[in-house]
Amino acid sequence: MRAFLAIELNDYVIENILKTQQVLDENSTSRLKHVERENMHLTVKFFGDINERKLKQIKRIINETIESYKPYTMKVAGVGAFANIKHPKTIWTTVKDKEKNTINLIRNLDDKFADIGFKKERSYKPHITISRVKQLNDAQNLSKTLSDMKGNYYGKVDVNKIVLKSSTLTPDGPIYKNEEEFIL
């Protein structure tokens, strides 16, 4: 099973992200591939293909780790890009919370997943991918549009669970399925 761990978004935040995708389309001649509504989430950890033994280890680690977390609220705001705003390849929005629960949760899980053989992340920048640049036709125009949206606010997400999802790749894009929810 090809799997990853995610925090799901609420409809309000998703609707606001969809509006940003629309603005990107209206103000850019670049060819963008937007993340579909049903696929929007914050990735906590991408595992890739895993077998049953790894799945059991992952579930055990998640259950042990989330015992020390309580539900919290994170804000979804801002727009940025990897590699950077002047040369965007992936367009994202970021998440923040007062006690840094999101980044601490990701870091704690990543440390424990490394103990069972998963590659440790180089850095922790929690983000929600909203679009991928397939063809950059006017970098200056797209860069200006992204800069104008840096202050966008998308809403709050009450985080009370994380979800283990499977991903099936198709020619039309990935299809995600919830495999198991872990309640904080």
In 35-170, where does DSSP find H-type helix?
52-66, 101-115, 139-148
Q: Is 87 tagged catalytic? A: no
Task: Decide if 127 is catalytic.
Answer: yes
Buried b (16+ CB within 10 A) or exposed e, 131-161: bbbeebeeeeebbebbeebeebebbbbebee
174: alpha, beta or left? (left if phi > 0; alpha if psi -120 to 50): beta
34 in Cβ contact with 131 (< 8 Å): yes
Rounded Cα–Cα distance for residues 63 and 53 (Å): 16
Catalytic residue selected from 4, 5, 41, 76: 41
Q: 2, 127, 132, 161: which is the annotated catalytic residue?
A: 127
Which residues are catalytically annotated? 41, 127
